[in-house]
Amino acid sequence: MISVHLDVEAVRADFPALARKVRNDKPLIYLDSGATSQKPVQVLDAERSFYERHNSAAHRGTHLLGEEATDVYEGARAKVAAFLGADAGEVVFTKNATEAINLVAYAMSNDRSGSFRVGPGDEILITEMEHHANLVPWQQLCERTGATLRWLDVTPEGRLDLDDLDSMITGRTRIVAVTQQSNVTGTIPPVAEIVRAAHEVVRMEGSTFLPPPQRFEPGVPAVAEAAGLAAAVDYLTALGMGNVAAHEESLTAHALDALSEISGVRILGPDTTKDRGGAVAFEVEGVHPHDVGQVLDELGIAVRTGHHCAWPLHRALGVQASTRATFYVYNTHDEVDALADGIRYAQRFFQAG
């Protein structure tokens, strides 16, 4: 039994969106946090407070509000860096992961000094389980520069095949880009082992040549959003990341057990919580994922359907698309049971299973 020290009902009270009624006046069961998580009042209050009291252009104004905006912005950067175990100078605020990775990829094709530049004969290593945000920018970089894209395959269970890891990382490898957790199967790759192999061959020198983060944050900074992010760090720190992880693992274990008991349902990825996070994708025999999602939506259950911007992984697992439930601190075991009941209802509705 997984020990969890998290007052989920108290946590849920912090998220106003969860009090909504949705389709057919059903209470909202939000299982799509892997795409966008709901925001607690602490984050909403932090952003509202900035706009109400300190709204100004950080790093630009010499008046009091400008100074306050700069303090809020750089204070958020320092707080996020400490949360991640990084240096503040290594944290660059972007809108999303796709923009961030494109920023690095374009830098690698435009560096005039040559120390960071990628060209013909160079290689970039990714994995078959990557989100398109960590695939397409590298594909385009290779097209622009003549470099070669290589990738580690996944096993039928949805884990990374590391049998050829040492031979895949060579003196020609310029960058290794791998997800921390699959957004489809929840698989957590052995990042430490991959880093070890990379450090034995690749200096990965590009990251040490980056100038201060402001170089990559042109225009007026998004200070309110940074303030909200800092508040989110405070919120999670107060909950305790160990408690957050244990709660997520508990929900995932429950979901794996509940869905595995339903005839005609195939869970994608590992069937245990070992090296697995809170994303559970599945297919229902005889029912298209979009239809499953629509039926669940009518029951007030919000899930994700499609290939989740991870088409190579779906192809490797032998499916066109899937339905995905993702869990967060505010989800409950009752909601996991509701998901399982909803899947059974969808099977009856479409006379499948």
pLDDT in tens, 275-284: 999 999 999 9
Burial of 297 (0-12, 13-18, 19+ CB in 10 A): middle
Which of these, 221, 231, 232, lies nearest to 55 by C-alpha position? 221
Judge residue 67's burial from the number of C-beta atoms within 10 Å of its C-beta, 0-12 exposed, 13-18 middle, 19 or more buried. Answer: middle
DSSP symbols for 193-223: HHHHHHHHH---GGGGG---GGGG--SS--H
| Packing angle, helices 289-298 and 333-349, rounded to 10 | 120
Averaged pLDDT score across all residues of the chain: 92
How far apart CA 284 and CA 263 sit, in angstroms, is 9
Average pLDDT (258-282) is 96
Cα distance between residue 326 and residue 32, in whole Å: 5
Is the pLDDT at 155 greater than 60? The verdict is yes
User: What is the rounded distance in angstroms from the CA atom of residue 177 to the CA atom of residue 126?
Assistant: 5
pLDDT at 330 over 50: yes
Range with the lowest mean pLDDT among 137-141, 142-146, 164-168, 315-319? 164-168
Confidence (pLDDT) at 211: 56
H/E stretch holding 124 reads strand 123-127
Please give the residue that has the higher pLDDT: either 161 or 202.
Answer: 161
Q: Quote the CA–CA distance of 34 and 303 in Å, as a whole number.
A: 10
Average pLDDT, stretch 140-165? 94
**26, 47 Cβ separation under 8 angstroms:** no
Which of 65, 92, 165, 309 is labelled catalytic?
Answer: 309
Task: Compute the distance between CA of residue 144 and CA of residue 132 in angstroms, rounded to an integer.
Answer: 18
Residue 67's pLDDT band, with cuts at 50, 70 and 90, is very high
How far is 339 from 310, CA to CA, in rounded Å?
23
Is residue 201 over pLDDT 90? no
Looking at residue 311, its amino acid is W
The whole-number average pLDDT for the span 64-89 is: 96
At residue 182, does pLDDT exceed 70?
yes
> Alpha helices of the chain — where are they, by DSSP H?
8-12, 41-49, 64-84, 97-110, 136-145, 165-168, 191-201, 223-239, 241-260, 289-298, 311-317, 333-349
**In whole angstroms, what is the distance from residue 264 CA to residue 286 CA?**
8
Give the C-alpha separation, 244 to 227, whole Å. 22
Query: Percent of the chain, pLDDT > 90?
Result: 84
pLDDT of residue 204: 43
Mark whether 309 is an active-site residue: yes
DSSP code for 265: E
Rounded distance between C-alpha atoms, residue 348 and residue 84, angstroms: 46
In tens, the pLDDT along 115-144 reads: 678 999 999 999 999 999 999 999 999 999
pLDDT at position 3, please? 58
